[in-house]
């Protein structure tokens, strides 16, 4: 019985010792956690000061002002935890980068593989950027076209008081260059190139063709025949968009290829790239900004005689602010002059922007034969106005043909 009592006493002592160790551990844990929290908070304070904040409290107040006001200690702890998560993510990225470099050194890519990888990554980025803008679009329907007409405020002087000259984007040309990926000239191109501005956020088409209405371009003449913009393209400090979705027509629709697909943002005072390179080509956009401009809508009509059959040349517009830049309004390519029911020439495009008080020049150029340069054979000049219309004439004396040029002027409105 004494032995049993001794054993019971030993078991009791062991249990007492075990309980004491548990209690010790339970007392230590909060201290360790508190110490870790203090260290994390110290680290957060250092990061806050290095980032330019006067104190940890100031950084936390900006990070989560509501929580900082309600429970400063909890806010500081969560801020420290957030910093640690960010640091852990950076460390993980660094480990991945090191592993990637090791694999790349162990299995080096050929120049062709590197080029293919870069092209694939660039195309993926372009597709994702276009689709991201489409999927996150919050303005009018993404596919909708602008319904604001040109000549909106031509009939003065009783136009609204909130109209004025504005900065505009003058798109001169769009050219396909440097084709790759097994493509060969000529190319049958369809799709669209469009701009969107702050007036309505809708597509203002520069080029728009369906598959059965493709344009054939060659290495010698790879410019797209632009049919827009349909009105002046306004530029402000707010974001506007340049969008392209062009395809190359194959023998069957399943063989068609994406030639260029992207969406870019632009705004007044920011650089809008001239070239955009994709996997299959480079799309070159020639453009310039017209400050304090008015909209000019051009109409041409043959008033005396007949336009010469077989004449090869181009009808252009230019402004005194960029006098060496010719904007093509219509190509003359041996075909009969296209006219509408009212006798007006069907221009490919008719809207340009002119600096307020500046000059607009409409010209007819005859293409040179062989090594001869193109030459201007007639022109009509106009001084920009805020409203109303201007009229002048272009005589083609050699062919006994007179053309009347009418320009309708209009200001812009953001409402």
51 pLDDT tier (thresholds 50, 70, 90): low
- Kindly report the pTM of this predicted structure: 0.71
CA-wise closest residue to 345 among 384, 286, 401: 401
58 pLDDT tier (thresholds 50, 70, 90): confident
Q: Side-chain half-sphere of 311: how many Cα atoms within 13 Å?
A: 22
Quick check: helix, strand or coil at residue 380? strand
Fold type of domain 166-410: Immunoglobulin-like (2.60.40)
The domains of the chain are located at: 12-107, 166-410
- Distance, in Å, from the CA atom of 54 to the CA atom of 45, rounded to the nearest integer, reads 9
The mean-pLDDT minimum among 26-40, 139-153, 264-278, 306-320 falls in 26-40
The DSSP line for 65-113 is HHHHHH-HHHHHHHHHHHHHHHHHHHHHHHHHHHHHHHHHHHSPPPHHH
The DSSP line for 315-345 is EEEEETTEEEEEEEEEEEESSPPPB-TTSBB
Is the separation of the CB atoms in 302 and 403 below 8 Å?
Answer: yes
Q: Which tens digit of pLDDT belongs to each residue from 353-382?
A: 999 999 999 999 999 888 889 999 999 999
Which residue has 């050699």 as its token pair? 398
Separation of CA 41 from chain center: 43
* Sign of the CA dihedral running 81, 86, 92, 95: negative
CA angle at 224 for the pair 121 and 355, rounded to the nearest 5°: 105
Comparison of pLDDT for 31 and 71, the residue scoring more: 71
- Distance, in Å, from the CA atom of 207 to the CA atom of 215, rounded to the nearest integer, reads 10
pLDDT at 393 over 60: yes
CA-wise closest residue to 204 among 168, 258, 243: 243
Separation of CA 296 from chain center: 25
pLDDT of residue 293: 97
Q: Which tens digit of pLDDT belongs to each residue from 312-331?
A: 999 999 999 998 999 999 99
The DSSP line for 136-152 is T--SS-TTPBP-PPSST
> What is the gyration radius of the CA atoms in the chain, in angstroms?
35
Q: Measured between alpha carbons, how far is residue 291 from residues 123, 251, 285 in Å? A: 34, 46, 19
Is the separation of the CB atoms in 248 and 188 below 8 Å?
Answer: yes
- Distance, in Å, from the CA atom of 353 to the CA atom of 356, rounded to the nearest integer, reads 9
- Distance, in Å, from the CA atom of 75 to the CA atom of 77, rounded to the nearest integer, reads 5
Q: Which tens digit of pLDDT belongs to each residue from 255-294?
A: 999 999 988 888 888 777 788 888 899 999 999 999 999 9
Q: Which tens digit of pLDDT belongs to each residue from 80-108?
A: 888 888 888 888 988 888 888 888 788 87
pLDDT at 248 over 80: yes
């Amino acid at each position: 019985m004494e032995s049993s009592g001794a054993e019971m006493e030993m078991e009791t002592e062991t249990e007492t010792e075990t309980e004491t160790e548990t209690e010790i551990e339970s007392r230590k844990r909060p201290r360790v956690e508190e110490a870790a929290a203090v260290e994390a908070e110290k680290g957060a304070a250092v990061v806050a000061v290095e980032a330019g904040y006067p104190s940890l409290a100031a950084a936390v107040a900006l990070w989560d002002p509501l929580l900082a006001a309600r429970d400063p200690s909890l806010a500081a702890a969560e801020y420290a935890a957030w910093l640690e998560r960010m640091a852990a993510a950076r460390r993980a990225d660094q480990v991945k980068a090191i592993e990637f470099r090791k694999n790349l050194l162990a299995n080096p890519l050929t120049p062709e593989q590197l080029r293919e990888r870069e092209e694939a990554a660039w195309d993926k980025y372009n597709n994702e950027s276009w689709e991201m803008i489409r999927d996150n679009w919050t303005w009018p329907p993404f596919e909708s076209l602008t319904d604001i007409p040109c000549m909106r405020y031509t009939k003065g002087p009783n136009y609204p008081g909130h109209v004025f000259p504005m900065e505009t984007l003058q798109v001169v040309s769009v050219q396909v260059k440097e084709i790759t990926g097994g493509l060969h000239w000529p190319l049958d191109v369809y799709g669209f190139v469009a701009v969107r501005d702050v007036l309505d956020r809708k597509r203002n088409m520069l080029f728009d063709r369906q598959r059965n209405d493709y344009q054939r371009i060659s290495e010698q003449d790879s410019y797209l025949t632009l049919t827009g913009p349909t009105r002046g393209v306004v530029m402000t400090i707010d974001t506007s968009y340049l969008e392209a979705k062009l395809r190359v027509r194959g023998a069957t629709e399943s063989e068609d290829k994406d030639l260029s697909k992207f969406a870019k943002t632009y705004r007044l005072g920011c650089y809008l790239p001239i070239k955009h390179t994709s996997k299959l080509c480079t799309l070159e956009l020639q453009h310039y900004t017209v400050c304090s401009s008015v909209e000019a809508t051009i109409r041409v009509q043959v008033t005396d005689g007949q336009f010469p059959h077989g004449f090869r040349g181009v009808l252009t517009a230019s402004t005194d602010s960029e006098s060496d830049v010719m904007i093509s309004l219509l190509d003359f390519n041996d075909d009969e002059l296209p006219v509408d029911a009212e006798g007006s020439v069907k221009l490919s495009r008719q809207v340009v922007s002119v600096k307020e008080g500046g000059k607009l020049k409409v010209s007819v150029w005859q293409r040179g034969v062989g090594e001869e340069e193109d030459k201007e054979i007639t022109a009509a000049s106009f001084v920009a106005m805020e409203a109303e219309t201007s009229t002048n004439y272009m005589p083609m004396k050699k062919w006994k043909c007179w053309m009347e040029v009418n320009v309708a002027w209009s200001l812009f409105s953001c409402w």
